[in-house]
Structure 1
Amino acid sequence: MTVPTDTDGTAALPVASRGENFRLTVGYFLPNYLRGIFRSRPRLARLVARLDPGRRGLRLMRVMRRRHGRGPVVVRGTSGPTLLVLDAEDARQVLAGPVEVYAVDTWEKVSGFATVQPEALIASHGRQRTARRAFNDAVLDAGRPVHRLAGHFLRIAGEEARALLGPRAEAGLSAGQVRDRVERMGRRCFLGEAAADDEEFSRLLGELLAEANWLGARRWRAGRTRRTRRKMMQRQARYLCDADPRSLTGLFRTAPRGPETAPEGQVAHWFMALGSVHATVVQTLALLASHPQHHERAAAEVAAADRGHGARTAAGFEAMPYLQACVQDAARLWPPVPSLLRRTTAETRWRTAVAPGGTNVLVPAAFHMRDGERIDYAHRFAPEKWLDGTAERDWAVSPFGRGEARCSGTELVLQLATGFVAEFLRGGELAVAGVRLHPRRPLPYSFDTSRLRIGYRPFRTPPERP
């Protein structure tokens, strides 16, 4: 397996050995596939977590970098020869490069989204992508620190989180219980209040995402999948026809669109992103519960923001930079998308070597963000690195993507996750069980939610004396 290089043949990209390819497949590609690319497979994810594939895969990548040097290594990927990017500078080259060259519509994404939403932005290229990106950016307020509907959305996030904080929270909340409320928050914010209790919509979407994990391999289920998608789109159409003005669908009429935009085809991907919100919320709560100093600082910041601007307000959110940094670092430690896939549409140069167009490129984001040989905060909870700009300046630290392919909803995901977590810090104590997190020990490479319990107990206020 080789990739052509410079025309004069003076430089060649290193190629992984059979043994390296086997170990990479078993220790990195296969575990990620088994866990579920588009939606978690709970039972398999639980089994995979016991093997700690994150540690094994990242250790192998460090060994490969020492052996082959800084340049990308040609490995056997799921859809052919793939450049495995092991150097931070090369990661920046890919993420900062134009999407016309480093295209996002890889075989895996196109195959998976053909089941769920074939018109989604992430499975588009060229003119289609330009039109759909403009629409997504406009509705999601991409690049703006606060969404125009942030006040309403933060109130919803607070309400859904507060609904969890009853007596059962003292015994411990499961990740599934948090997910149900995050999904309800998403339906209210994205489709409007009329969709708040439409659990059937979420169930149908979940069924499609579970099928997307198979990347189109189960062709005998194609008819059933089409019927499921048709039912989901019919339910979605109800909310688009009479759009709630305080929802994302209510912003459709003012967003730029053209014949290739497919506005209704973008919604499913937003709901898929709720998986990132859910994972980041759970991880942030677990980290704060196990790191008393961080918890104290974040809780004090929330209290000060509430006093100065009111609870669950856009201004209050902006006054919580430390809590936002906690959320961002939780996503760095256990990124929602551990690998960033691209395909090249033209020749690309890697120092003295050249790879032809049509080559797959894989940036292992989880590896770069936990690369202890490069960053000194790799295995600890370090929100301060987002506050002082260290993490933001490092393009290899990309929990939500970077550059032209950066998720349009990055800022909105941060707002919803921060608003949800903030509710747990208002007048209560956090505890965590089922995961091993310690402020003075390296944090684990994998985060298993199967046994996780987030405990919450309201502060006991002493009774007033007569």
Structure 2
Amino acid sequence: MAISSRLDTARVLATVLLPTLAKGVVVRRPGVMAAAERVQSDARAITTMRGLRDRYGPEPVRLRITGRSVAVLVDPTDVGRLLAESPEPFALATKEKKAALAHFQPHGVLISEGPGREHLRALNERALRPENVPAEAIVRDEADLLTRHVTSTGELTWESFNQAWWRIVRRIVLGNGARGDDQLTDDLKALRENANWAFLHPRQRGLRDRFQHRLDEHLARREEGSLAAQPGDLSGQVPHWLFAFDAAGIVTLRALALGARGMNGILESARLWPTTPVILRESTEPTRWHGTWLPENTEFVVFTPFFHRDPDRLPFADSYAPEYWDGPLDPAIVPFSAGPGVCPGRDLVLTVAATMLDTLSEHLSVPSPGTPLPATLNHFGIRVPAQPAGSRV
């Protein structure tokens, strides 16, 4: 069994895990993201992970953490196994994930278990089909308004993009009646900020009750043409849908700044800058890895930027390579996770994000970025000049 030295454990904590937590796992912190971009923190983390693999070989590396069995994966085949064999024997509902998500989605599928999880998973898969909503029409409607605003101001910023994005999301999920309900998503953001602290932040039950009451009022309309019109008890699942769409907005703006187009462009943006930087699983029984055993309740850590940008395996690691998505896929390049825990809204999210990207790209001309592309990209600081379409340089 590979057990890291105390020095290597300290390196992983200092350059991989703690910076990831500091940036905000559930909702990003603008100040920390700006600092992370300045020092290119993900590049440092990838270097640490490469060193870990070089020193200990391909088997999971167990960190020296008192009171918790934590193993970091360094081999792509192991990542494929971990995700394929979820939720048994590798549970998605880890202790840390439960503590974080309970702040705003205590009944969500991500932290459900057993038969209840199977029921909720099926509900999510049925509801989140692209054909259930006129997503492309909604996106084009809001993107047209955003383009007019950008043309008048001279540039597209995260603030203006994010406002339009949330109008799209609320219309798709809850209907046109929720389009202007900024308070709903502001309350959700506050709850998600608490979730960043997981165990360390007390539950704000009053805030959560207010959010849930407001959400349930929208859901009660069952507005035609929205996800809310789908059958089943959606109240406990919608907070996660809104949460997931936030990450999709980040991916979309980064793709726009990259000069990307289409679904492959969205997928490539998510490869280059994963919005789920750490995937966690917790073993429900002892498991064998490369001839050695790890105990029950071991937490397995997949640091996705390492696998997505590993120059030792990927010749296109730091380049824009949308053609990658047309061929065989690496088991550890997983922008939407994989296996039984793959994002049930993957196709819907890709449809919405790609339509937004392509619609805005028709009206904005983005200079081609240089290479190598940065390991850390602060989406809060992205500014896209409003140039006439066709003036790409």
CA deviation profile, 1:408-461 (whole Å, cap 9, x unmatched): 1111110110010111133x34236xxx931xx211110112431012333489
Does residue 338 in structure 1 map to residue 277 in structure 2?
yes
Q: 2:349 aligns with which of 413, 426, 432?
A: 413
Q: 2:221 aligns with which of 225, 242, 245?
A: 242
Cα distance in 2 between the residues matched to 1:339 and 1:42: 19
Q: Which residue of structure 1 lines up, in the alignment, with residue 72 of structure 2?
A: 84
* TM-score w.r.t. length of structure 2: 0.95
Q: Which residue of structure 2 lines up, in the alignment, with residue 270 of structure 1?
A: 241
Cα distance in 2 between the residues matched to 1:49 and 1:265: 35
Larger radius of gyration: 1
CA deviation profile, 1:230-288 (whole Å, cap 9, x unmatched): 111111111221211211110124xxxxxxxx631110000001122111111110111
Does residue 442 in structure 1 map to residue 384 in structure 2?
no
Indicate the percent of aligned positions where both proteins have the same amino acid: 28
Question: Does the 8 Å CA contact 2:195/2:201 hold for their aligned counterparts?
Answer: no
Tell me the amino acid that sits aligned with residue 173 of structure 1. Answer: L
Cα distance in 2 between the residues matched to 1:377 and 1:352: 32
Does residue 165 in structure 1 map to residue 147 in structure 2?
yes
Cα distance in 1 between the residues matched to 2:59 and 2:73: 7
CA deviation profile, 1:121-154 (whole Å, cap 9, x unmatched): 111111221111111111113xxxxx2135x111
Cα distance in 1 between the residues matched to 2:64 and 2:170: 40
Cα distance in 1 between the residues matched to 2:125 and 2:65: 31
CA deviation profile, 1:209-249 (whole Å, cap 9, x unmatched): 01111113133xx3xx1011111111111122121121111
Tell me the amino acid that sits aligned with residue 258 of structure 2. Answer: L
Cα distance in 2 between the residues matched to 1:78 and 1:431: 49
Cα distance in 2 between the residues matched to 1:77 and 1:193: 49
Does residue 282 in structure 1 map to residue 253 in structure 2?
yes
| Structure 1: segments with no counterpart, 5+ residues | 1-12, 142-146, 254-261, 289-294, 299-322, 462-466
Pair 1:91–1:77, CA change in 2 (3 A): farther
Question: Does the 8 Å CA contact 1:88/1:396 hold for their aligned counterparts?
Answer: yes
Cα distance in 1 between the residues matched to 2:10 and 2:106: 32
Cα distance in 1 between the residues matched to 2:16 and 2:376: 12
Cα distance in 1 between the residues matched to 2:389 and 2:377: 28
Tell me the amino acid that sits aligned with residue 445 of structure 1. Answer: A
TM-superposed CA distance for 1:76, in Å, is 4.7
CA deviation profile, 1:381-432 (whole Å, cap 9, x unmatched): 0001112x23xx3111101100001011111110110010111133x34236
Tell me the amino acid that sits aligned with residue 398 of structure 1. Answer: V
Cα distance in 1 between the residues matched to 2:47 and 2:27: 26
Give the 3-state SS of the residue equivalent to 1:249 in structure 2. helix
Question: Does the 8 Å CA contact 2:167/2:180 hold for their aligned counterparts?
Answer: yes
Pair 1:237–1:347, CA change in 2 (3 A): same
Pair 1:445–1:455, CA change in 2 (3 A): same
Give the 3-state SS of the residue equivalent to 1:133 in structure 2. helix
Q: 2:11 aligns with which of 12, 23, 41?
A: 23
Cα distance in 2 between the residues matched to 1:324 and 1:228: 36
Does residue 403 in structure 1 map to residue 333 in structure 2?
no
| Structure 2: segments with no counterpart, 5+ residues | none
Q: Which residue of structure 2 lines up, in the alignment, with residue 258 of structure 1?
A: none
Q: Which residue of structure 2 lines up, in the alignment, with residue 177 of structure 1?
A: 160
Q: Which residue of structure 2 lines up, in the alignment, with residue 124 of structure 1?
A: 112
TM-superposed CA distance for 1:79, in Å, is 7.8
CA deviation profile, 1:276-329 (whole Å, cap 9, x unmatched): 2111111110111xxxxxx6xx5xxxxxxxxxxxxxxxxxxxxxxxx1111111
Tell me the amino acid that sits aligned with residue 431 of structure 1. Answer: V
Q: 1:75 aligns with which of 52, 63, 66?
A: 63
Cα RMSD of the aligned pairs, angstroms, is 1.9
TM-superposed CA distance for 1:355, in Å, is 1.3
Pair 1:137–1:236, CA change in 2 (3 A): same
Tell me the amino acid that sits aligned with residue 412 of structure 1. Answer: L
Question: Does the 8 Å CA contact 1:95/1:395 hold for their aligned counterparts?
Answer: no
Cα distance in 1 between the residues matched to 2:388 and 2:138: 21
CA deviation profile, 1:181-229 (whole Å, cap 9, x unmatched): 111111000011100000110111011001111113133xx3xx10111
Question: Does the 8 Å CA contact 1:192/1:247 hold for their aligned counterparts?
Answer: yes
Q: Which residue of structure 2 lines up, in the alignment, with residue 227 of structure 1?
A: 206
Q: Which residue of structure 2 lines up, in the alignment, with residue 326 of structure 1?
A: 265
Give the 3-state SS of the residue equivalent to 1:164 in structure 2. helix
Tell me the amino acid that sits aligned with residue 415 of structure 1. Answer: T
Per mean C-alpha deviation after superposition, the further-off stretch among 408-417 and 351-360 is 351-360
Pair 1:89–1:16, CA change in 2 (3 A): same
Does residue 154 in structure 1 map to residue 136 in structure 2?
yes
Pair 1:459–1:79, CA change in 2 (3 A): farther
Provide the aligned length of Structure 1 versus Structure 2: 390
